[in-house]
Structure 1
Amino acid sequence: MKKRLNLEYLNTFLIAAETGKLNATAELTYRSHSAVSTQIKKLEEQIDAPLFIRSKNTLILTKAGETLVDYAQRILALNDAAFNSMSDSDWGGDMTLAIPTDYSRLFLQSFYPKIQEKLPHFNFSTVFSRSREIRKKVDEGKIQFAIAAMEPEYGEEVLLWEEGLYWVCSKQFEHEPDAPIPIALFSDDCIINNHSLYCLKKTRLDFQIRFTSTVMDNIADCVRSGLAVSLLPESMMTDEFQVLSPEFLPCAFTLKMGCIWQEKADTNIVNTLIESIKAQVKQPDFMNSLKILSTGRSNGKSPLAP
Structure 2
Amino acid sequence: MSQRGFDLTQLRTFVAVAESGSVSAGAERVFLSQSSVSEQLKKLEERAGQPLFVRSKQGVSATPAGSRLLDHARRILAMSEAAFEDLQGRSLDGELRIAITDYYRPHDIARILKTFCEQHPRLKLHVTVLPSSMIDSKADDDTSFDIGLSLRLVTGQPRAASKRSGAASTVVRREKLLWVCAADAAPRPAAPYQLVLLPSSCQLQRFVVKLLDEHKVPYLISHSASGVAGLQLALKAGLGISCLNESSIGGGVVACATGIGLPALPAVEFHLLPGRLGESEHVSNARNALMRLFA
| Residue matched to 2:110 | 108
Specify the SS of the correspondent of 1:223. helix
- Which whole-Å CA distance do the structure 1 matches of 2:222 and 2:256 have between them? 19
1:43-62 C-alpha deviation (Å, 9 max, x unpaired):
xxxxxxxxxxxxxxxxxxxx
SS state at 1:189 partner = coil
- Distance in 2 (CA, whole Å) between partners of 1:92 and 1:221 is 38
Normalised by the length of structure 2, the TM-score is 0.56
Count of aligned pairs between the two proteins: 197
Mapping 1:195-234, distance limit 5 Å: 195-234=207-246
Q: 1:154 — aligned with what? A: 160
2:271 aligned residue: 258
Q: Which residues of structure 2 form unaligned runs of 5+?
A: 1-85, 162-167
Q: Percent identity?
A: 15
Query: Quick one: which amino acid aligns to residue 228 of structure 1?
Result: G
Using the TM superposition, give the Cα deviation of residue 209 of structure 1 relative to its aligned residue in structure 2, in angstroms. Answer: 0.5
- Where 2:292 maps in the other structure, the secondary structure is helix
Which string of whole-angstrom CA distances, capped at 9 and with x for unpartnered residues, describes residues 5-49 of structure 1? xxxxxxxxxxxxxxxxxxxxxxxxxxxxxxxxxxxxxxxxxxxxx
Q: Report the 3-state secondary structure (helix = DSSP H, G, I; strand = E; otherwise coil) of the residue aligned with 1:226.
A: coil
Deviations 1:112-136 (A, max 9, x none): 432552x554433221221222233
Amino acid at match of 2:276: E
Structure 1 segments, 4+ long, off by >6 Å, are none
Q: Secondary structure at the match of 2:235?
A: helix
Aligned match of 1:243? 256
Structure 1 residues 128, 165: closer, same or farther in 2, change over 3 A? same
* Counterpart selection for 1:172 from 184, 187, 191: 184
CA contact (8 A) 1:93 1:121 kept: yes
Q: In structure 1, what is the Cα distance between the partners aligned to 2:204 and 2:195?
A: 13
* C-alpha contact 1:182 1:208 (8 A) present in aligned 2: yes
> Displacement of 1:163 after TM fit?
1.1
Structure with bigger helix share is 1
SS of 2:100's partner is strand
Aligned mates of 2:107, 2:190 — CA distance in 1: 41
Aligned residue number for residue 99 of structure 2: 98
Does residue 1:137 correspond to 2:138, yes or no?
yes
Q: Does the CA-based 8 Å contact 2:182-2:252 persist in structure 1? A: no
TM-score by length of 1: 0.54
Whether the 8 Å CA contact 1:115–1:277 is kept in 2: the answer is no
1:12-23 aligned within 5 A: none
Q: Are the aligned partners of 1:149 and 1:257 in contact in 2 as well (CA < 8 Å)?
A: yes
Which has the higher mean CA deviation after the structures are superposed, 192-201 or 148-157? Answer: 148-157
1:127 corresponding residue in structure 2: 128
1:186 maps to which of 174, 198, 205: 198
